Amino acid sequence: MFHKFGNMKIALAQINTIIGAISHNREKIVKFAKEAADKDAQIVIFPELAICGYPPTDQLYFDLLEEELQILIDQTQDLPITIVVGTITEQPQGKPYNSLVIFRQGKILHRYHKVLLPDYDIFDENRYFAPGTPQKPVEINGRIFGLTICEDIWITDPDLKGIYDLNPLESIKDVDLVINISGSPFSIGHPARRLNVITETARLTNSPVAYVNHVGAQTDLIFDGRSCIVYPDGTVESIAPAFEESLIIAELKGSGSFPPFVGEPWIEDIYDALVIGIRDFFGKLGLKHAYVGLSGGIDSSVVCALAVEALGKESVTGVLMPSEFTSQESIDDALQLAENLGIKTLNLPITEPFHSIVKVLQDRAWKDKPFDVTEENIQSRIRMIYLHALSNKLGGVVLNTSNKSELATGYGTLYGDMSGALGVLGDVYKTWVYRLARVINQRLNKAIPERVLTKPPSAELRPNQTDQDTLPPYDVLDAVLIRYIEMHETATQIAKATGIDLSVINNIINMVNRNEYKRYQAPPILRVTSKAFGIGRRMPIVGRFETAFK
Amino acid sequence: MFHKFGNMKIALAQINTIIGAISHNREKIVKFAKEAADKDAQIVIFPELAICGYPPTDQLYFDLLEEELQILIDQTQDLPITIVVGTITEQPQGKPYNSLVIFRQGKILHRYHKVLLPDYDIFDENRYFAPGTPQKPVEINGRIFGLTICEDIWITDPDLKGIYDLNPLESIKDVDLVINISGSPFSIGHPARRLNVITETARLTNSPVAYVNHVGAQTDLIFDGRSCIVYPDGTVESIAPAFEESLIIAELKGSGSFPPFVGEPWIEDIYDALVIGIRDFFGKLGLKHAYVGLSGGIDSSVVCALAVEALGKESVTGVLMPSEFTSQESIDDALQLAENLGIKTLNLPITEPFHSIVKVLQDRAWKDKPFDVTEENIQSRIRMIYLHALSNKLGGVVLNTSNKSELATGYGTLYGDMSGALGVLGDVYKTWVYRLARVINQRLNKAIPERVLTKPPSAELRPNQTDQDTLPPYDVLDAVLIRYIEMHETATQIAKATGIDLSVINNIINMVNRNEYKRYQAPPILRVTSKAFGIGRRMPIVGRFETAFK
C-alpha cells in the first residue's frame, strides 16, 4: 500500500534540545531542516515538543509558543521541504494541546493534537495539556499520513492495557506513512519494549511507521534517540544511533529484508547513558570541571572514569580525603586509578577538622558518649565541605557517587557523601556497579585497579568496617530492592518469588521506607531504570506503608 | 426543598489521618462513627480517601483497599448510623477510582466515583485514578443525595473555568443534601476561595451542601479542615474549627439566618498552619526533640517560637554557634529569646573547626585566594555538622529556618543553613516573617526581642555583612517574587504592574531560575501559599527560561 513513497526521502531529525531555550532549539531545527533539504529529503520530522524541549515543566505556564512557531515557519519558508515538528497549541480557555504541526514554505498544512496523555512514573502530561480527539489520516501533497504523538501508539503496549478509553490508531489503516514524534526516555529494557510498540503499530495499521525521538539528557532524564522506520512485516531500518544527535535520511521502500534490530547489551547501554548524562549536564549548564571524592572504592572509581569519558581528563579532579580509618590500600587504589585515568588529584586529610569538631561537641554538648554514627557522619560531612569549597573557590561542581542500593537503604550520610550536583550512580544497583566497572575496564584500558573490584566494600568510617556489617549481601539486597521498587511487589510476594527469608525482606523494605526523608534531599539522579528515585517515584516522608508488607 | 431533613442530625467527621496507616485511620473512623451514633446522628461523613490518607502517593500501587473497606464495614455493623467514607475502588483493568462509599450496618448502599481529577500544583490524580462519570442523585433511606468528591464542585471556580469538559453538578438539583468529601489543603486565600465554591454549589444545585475536609499536616501539605454546611442562600453553619480534628453534629434546618463565616486574618492562619505543620511532623513520625540554630536573627527566632508552641519548651533546644563575625548583639538577642521562651541552649563556637578546615585547603588546594563565598559556606556547613551531630547523638531532628525569599534567590548555603528535616518558613516571604513575628509577640508574650525586629538582617558570615549587600530591599524583592512564582507573570508584566525597574526584575528572575538546583535538594517545606517550592512547582535544573523574560 505504501508504494507511493517509492523514491521518497524522509529525514528523521533526532535532536538534542535544551528545555525552555526556544531560540537555541529553533536554530537547531532550522539547521537540521536545511541539511535535510540539501540532501533532497521531501519531509523532515522532529521530535515531540521540539521547540520548547521535553519535558516542558512548569515553564509552560509562561509560554506563548504560537509566536515562536510562527518565527520558525518564517525562517524556513524558502526551504523546499515539508517540516513536521512538535509544539504546543494554546486554547482560548483551559489547557493547551501537545501538538504535531506540519508546514511547508511558510504555510501550515495541518495540526494534530496528542490524544493519550501519560501520567505515570516521570510523566505528568495531564498537568499541562488537554487531550486531543483521534483524527482520521490526512492527505498532504498527495500522500496519506497517519499522525500520532508518543503515547498515542503505546495503546499497543500490553502493560498499559486498559488505562486508556480512546484508541488513536483506530481509524489509521493502510496509509502511506504513520508518523510518531516522541519524547521517550531511556531505561533498561525500554528500547526493546518501545520497538515492540512501534512494530505493533506498523502491523495494526498495515503501514510503515517513522518514529522520531529526542536524544540527550535533561538533568535526570536521558533520551536515547534510536529513531527508526518500521514496516508492517516487522523489518526495521534507518535506525539512528543511540545517545547521539543525528539526521537520518531514509528512503521508504515497498518492502524487503532489512538487518534485524539488535539492542545493545544493557550494561553497555547504561554506560552510554551515564556518559551522555554527565556530558549534557555540564555542557548545557556551561560547567567546566568535575570534582570526585576518591575513596579507593568501586563507586567513586566508576564515577571518576565515567566523568573522564564524558568530559575529558583535564576536566576532572580526584580528591582524596583520608582519615585515621582510611587504609593504605584505599589510598594506593585511588592514586592508581587517577594515574590510569591521567587526572590530577588533591589530598585533603580530614583528621584535624574532625578532632576539632568532636572536641567542641564533647566539651559543650555531651561527655563520654561512645563513638557511633554521629562521628561517622561528621567525617563524611567534612569531606563534603572540602569538595564544595573546591567548587566554590576554583569553579566546577561535585559529582555524587551514591549508588541505588545505598540510596534505597539510607546507607549514606545526608549532606555528606549524599551531596553533589548530579547523582551519577543513583539509579544503578551496587551489583550493577561492579558490572559497569568491567565494561569500563574493557573500554578504558583497565583504568580501575583489579583490587577495587575484589575487596569487600567499606565506608571506612570506623575501624574494620564493611558494608555487610549493616546491610545484607548485595546480591540479596538488590534482588529484593528491584522487586520492591521497580515491580511494586509486597514482602510476601517477594518472599514467594525469591525464596529469601521474609524477615530479611521486611528489614530491607523498612530501610527503604524509613529513608524517604534522605532521598527527598538527594541530588538529581541520572535515570536508567523504569523506576528511579526522584520525580518519578512519589512516597510520603510522613506516612506508614502497611500494604507493602502484605 | 430540604425540609425532609427536619430534625435530621448530620455528623461532619473532620479527621487527621496518616498516609498509608490504614489500621490507624480505620480505628479513628470507627471511633468517630461511634461517637456520632452516640450523639444520635443519622449519618456521619468522612473526608476523601480517609482510609488510606490523602494524598495517597505511589503507595497506591500496593494497595488492596477493597479488603480494608470490608474490615471497616464489619467493624461498624452494629452502629445505627449511615457512614460516608472516601476510599479507592479497584478495577479489573486500568487505574482504580477515587470513590465515595455509603454503607450502613454491614451493607454497602452506594458508590460514587470522582469525576474531575485535578492535575495542577500539588495535585496529580490522573497518575493514580480513572475518572468516574457524572451520576444522578441517589435515594438513601428515603432521602435524596447529590454526591461529589472534592474537585467535582470546583467546576464552579472561576479560575478553573474551561479546563474540564464534564460537569458533575449538571443533574444535581433540589436534593435533600449535596455531600462533598474533600482533601483540600490550606494556602493563603484558599479558605475564602473554597467557601465561594461551596456556596456556588449550594446555589446552583439549590440544595444544602455538607462539606467535609481533612485536617492536619502530611509532611509539607497542611489541611485546615473548616468543614461546614452551606445553604443555597449563602448562609454557612456548623463550621468545624480550623487546624483541629473535630466531630461536628449539625442539624439541618430548612433555612434561616446564621452567623456569617469570618475568615481568620491570613497571617494568623499562617501561624496556626505552621504550628500544626511542626506538631504533626513530629507526632506522626514519633520524633521527640527539635534543634534550632539561633543566630539572633528574625528567621531562627520565629522558627524557635513556633517550635515551642507546637512541641512545648522542653522539646526544643536553641543552639548558638558563634564565629568571629558574630556580633555580641546577636548573641544577646538569641539568649534573650531562649530565656523568654524558657528553652535550653547550647553554645558551640565554630571558630576552631573553621580555621582548621581553611588551613588544610590553603595548604593543599589553593594559596592566597581572597576570602569569598567559599569561606562563608564553610561556616554555614560547620553549623550544619554541629546541629545534625546533636540530632544523631542525642535524638530528635533539626528544623530548617530558610525563608521563601532566601530560597527563591539562592541566598543560603546548600548543606548549610538550607539543611534540616522540615522547612518551617520555606513558603513564607521575608516581609511576612516580620508580620509573623508580631503575631508571635502578641500570642507568646513578646518572646522575640524587639531589636530582632528592627535591626537590618545579616548572615554575619563576613565583617559588616547585610542581606542588602546582595539582595534588593525585601519589599521590592517579595513583590517581584510573588508575581513571578505565584502568579506566573513575566518580567514585562511585573514591570508594568509594579513600576519596578525592569533590570531589577530581570536580576531577581535570574536568581530564581539559577537556583533551581539548590531548591531541588532543600528539605520539605510547609506549604502556606498557592505555589510553594516542592512537588507543586516543577522546573528544570538544566534549562533556560526564555519566556519568563518576555
| Chain B from 500 to 519: CB within 8 A of any A CB | 517
Strands (E), B117-208: 138-140, 143-149, 177-181
Q: How confident is the model at residue A544 (pLDDT cuts 50, 70, 90)?
A: confident
**Is B322:B383 a contact under the CB 8 Å cutoff?**
no
B347–A360: do the CB atoms touch at under 8 Å?
Answer: no
Would you say residue A2 has pLDDT above 60? no
B490–A62: do the CB atoms touch at under 8 Å?
Answer: yes
Q: Which of A541, A549, A550 to mutate to test the interface with B (most CBs of B within 10 A)?
A: A541
Non-local (6+) Cβ contacts of A290 within 8 A are A278, A282, A307, A311, A315, A316, A317, A396, A397, A398, A399
| Chain B from 79 to 98: CB within 8 A of any A CB | 91-95
A365–B390: do the CB atoms touch at under 8 Å?
Answer: yes
- Residue A110, strand partner residues: A102
B524 touches chain A (CB under 8 A): yes
**CATH 3.60.110.10, domain A3-253, yes or no:** yes
CA-nearest residue of chain B to A160? B94
Closest CA to A431 of A484, A481, A470: A481
Question: How big is the CA angle at A271 (ends A270 and A273), to the nearest 5 degrees?
Answer: 60
**Is A381:B381 a contact under the CB 8 Å cutoff?**
yes
Q: How confident is the model at residue A123 (pLDDT cuts 50, 70, 90)?
A: very high
First to last CA, chain B: 53
Q: What is the pLDDT, as a whole number, of residue B371?
A: 96
User: For the segment B158-190, what is each residue's pLDDT rounded down to a tens digit?
Assistant: 989 888 989 999 999 999 999 999 999 999 889
Within 8 A of A218 by CB-CB distance, chain B residues are 540, 542-543
Q: Considering Cα of A331, then A406, then B386, then B466, what sign does the dihedral take?
A: positive
DSSP three-state, residue B528: coil
DSSP A525: B
A360 touches chain B (CB under 8 A): yes
* Domains A3-253 and A270-549 are alike in CATH topology: no
Mean pLDDT of B30-46: 97
Closest CA to B289 of B313, B315, B312: B315
Q: Which of B28, B48, B52, B228 is catalytic?
A: B48
- Residue B112, strand partner residues: B100
Q: What is the pLDDT, as a whole number, of residue A6?
A: 56
Q: Which of A235-239, B242-246, B257-261 has the lowest mean pLDDT?
A: B257-261
What residues of A are annotated to the active site?
Answer: 48, 114, 150
State the complex-level ipTM.
Answer: 0.92
Within 8 A of B64 by CB-CB distance, chain A residues are 547, 550
Which contiguous run of DSSP H or E holds residue B293? strand B290-293
User: For the segment B299-323, what is each residue's pLDDT rounded down to a tens digit?
Assistant: 999 999 999 999 999 999 999 999 9
B540 touches chain A (CB under 8 A): yes
CB atoms closer than 10 angstroms to residue B454: 9
Would you say residue B221 has pLDDT above 70? yes
A287 touches chain B (CB under 8 A): no
Non-local (6+) Cβ contacts of B241 within 8 A are B225, B226
DSSP three-state, residue A508: helix
A388–B365: do the CB atoms touch at under 8 Å?
Answer: no
B94–A349: do the CB atoms touch at under 8 Å?
Answer: no
Would you say residue A202 has pLDDT above 50? yes
User: For the segment B434-490, what is each residue's pLDDT rounded down to a tens digit?
Assistant: 999 999 999 999 999 999 999 999 999 999 999 998 999 999 999 999 999 998 899
Domain boundaries defined on chain A: 3-253, 270-549
Non-local (6+) Cβ contacts of A314 within 8 A are none
| Chain A from 308 to 347: CB within 8 A of any B CB | 346-347
User: For the segment B350-360, what is each residue's pLDDT rounded down to a tens digit?
Assistant: 999 999 999 99
Of B348, B517, B546, the CB nearest to A361: B348
Would you say residue A240 has pLDDT above 80? yes
* A315-324 CB burial, b ≥16 within 10 A, e <16: bbbbbbbbbe
Q: Which of A542, A545, A547 to mutate to test the interface with B (most CBs of B within 10 A)?
A: A542
The whole-angstrom separation of Cα B379 and Cα B321 is 10
Mean pLDDT of B249-267: 61
DSSP three-state, residue B89: strand
B446 touches chain A (CB under 8 A): no
Would you say residue A338 has pLDDT above 60? yes
Compute the nearest-CA separation of A85 from chain B (Å): 19
Within 8 A of A117 by CB-CB distance, chain B residues are 126
DSSP three-state, residue A18: coil
A59 touches chain B (CB under 8 A): yes
**Is A150:A182 a contact under the CB 8 Å cutoff?**
yes
Would you say residue A211 has pLDDT above 50? yes
- Measured CA to CA in angstroms, residue A371 lies from A355, A377, B348 at distances of 12, 11, 19
Question: How big is the CA angle at B344 (ends B338 and B346), to the nearest 5 degrees?
Answer: 95
What angle in degrees, to the nearest 10, is found between the helix axes of B474-481 and B430-443? 110
Q: What is the pLDDT, as a whole number, of residue A103?
A: 98
Q: What is the pLDDT, as a whole number, of residue B61?
A: 78
Q: Which of A63-77, A181-195, A422-436, B126-140 has the lowest mean pLDDT?
A: A63-77
B389–A365: do the CB atoms touch at under 8 Å?
Answer: yes
Catalytic: B531? no
With 0-12 / 13-18 / 19 or more C-beta atoms within 10 angstroms meaning exposed / middle / buried, residue A141 is exposed
* B86-116 CB burial, b ≥16 within 10 A, e <16: bbbbeeeeebbbbbbbbbbeeeebebbbbbb
- All 3 cell numbers of residue A395? 569553579
B374–A392: do the CB atoms touch at under 8 Å?
Answer: yes
Q: What is the pLDDT, as a whole number, of residue A263?
A: 47
Within 8 A of A545 by CB-CB distance, chain B residues are 20, 59, 62
B535–A538: do the CB atoms touch at under 8 Å?
Answer: yes
Q: Which of B68, B125, B150, B237 is catalytic?
A: B150
A542–B348: do the CB atoms touch at under 8 Å?
Answer: no
Q: How confident is the model at residue B254 (pLDDT cuts 50, 70, 90)?
A: low
Mean pLDDT of B252-259: 52
User: For the segment B273-305, what is each residue's pLDDT rounded down to a tens digit?
Assistant: 999 999 999 999 999 999 999 999 999 999 999
Mean pLDDT of A390-403: 98
Chain centroid offset of residue B306 CA? 15
DSSP three-state, residue B436: helix
482504580: which residue's cell? B96
Please write down the HEC assignment for all residues of B355-424.
HHHHHHHHHHCCCCCCCCHHHHHHHHHHHHHHHHHHHHHHCCEEEECCCHHHHHHCCCCCCCCCCCCEEC
531541588: which residue's cell? B520
A124–B124: do the CB atoms touch at under 8 Å?
Answer: yes
B166 touches chain A (CB under 8 A): no
User: For the segment A314-324, what is each residue's pLDDT rounded down to a tens digit?
Assistant: 999 999 999 99
pTM for this model (two decimals): 0.92
Q: What is the pLDDT, as a whole number, of residue A5?
A: 54
Q: What is the pLDDT, as a whole number, of residue B456?
A: 93
Which range among A22-36, A255-269, B248-262 has the greatest average pLDDT? Answer: A22-36
DSSP three-state, residue A263: coil
CATH of domain B3-256: 3.60.110.10
CA-nearest residue of chain B to A61? B488
- Residue A387, strand partner residues: none
DSSP string covering A86-155, please?
EEEE--SSSPPEEEEEEEETTEEEEEEE------STT--GGGT---------EEETTEEEEEEEGGGGGG
Q: How confident is the model at residue A59 (pLDDT cuts 50, 70, 90)?
A: confident
Higher pLDDT, residue A162 or A453: A453
Mean pLDDT of B222-228: 95
Q: What is the pLDDT, as a whole number, of residue B257?
A: 41
**Is B100:B111 a contact under the CB 8 Å cutoff?**
yes
Q: What is the pLDDT, as a whole number, of residue B263?
A: 47
B61–A377: do the CB atoms touch at under 8 Å?
Answer: no
- All 3 cell numbers of residue A133? 480527539
Q: Considering Cα of B421, then B525, then B380, then A352, what sign does the dihedral take?
A: positive
With 0-12 / 13-18 / 19 or more C-beta atoms within 10 angstroms meaning exposed / middle / buried, residue B289 is middle
Would you say residue A264 has pLDDT above 70? no
Q: What is the mean pLDDT of chain A?
A: 93
Q: What is the mean pLDDT of chain B?
A: 93
Q: How confident is the model at residue A261 (pLDDT cuts 50, 70, 90)?
A: very low
B30 touches chain A (CB under 8 A): no
The whole-angstrom separation of Cα A276 and Cα A15 is 14
Of A58, A421, A540, the CB nearest to B537: A58
Within 8 A of B130 by CB-CB distance, chain A residues are 163
Within 8 A of A527 by CB-CB distance, chain B residues are none
Percent of chain A with pLDDT over 70: 96
CATH of domain A270-549: 3.40.50.620
Q: How confident is the model at residue B259 (pLDDT cuts 50, 70, 90)?
A: very low
Would you say residue B497 has pLDDT above 80? yes
Q: What is the pLDDT, as a whole number, of residue B149?
A: 98
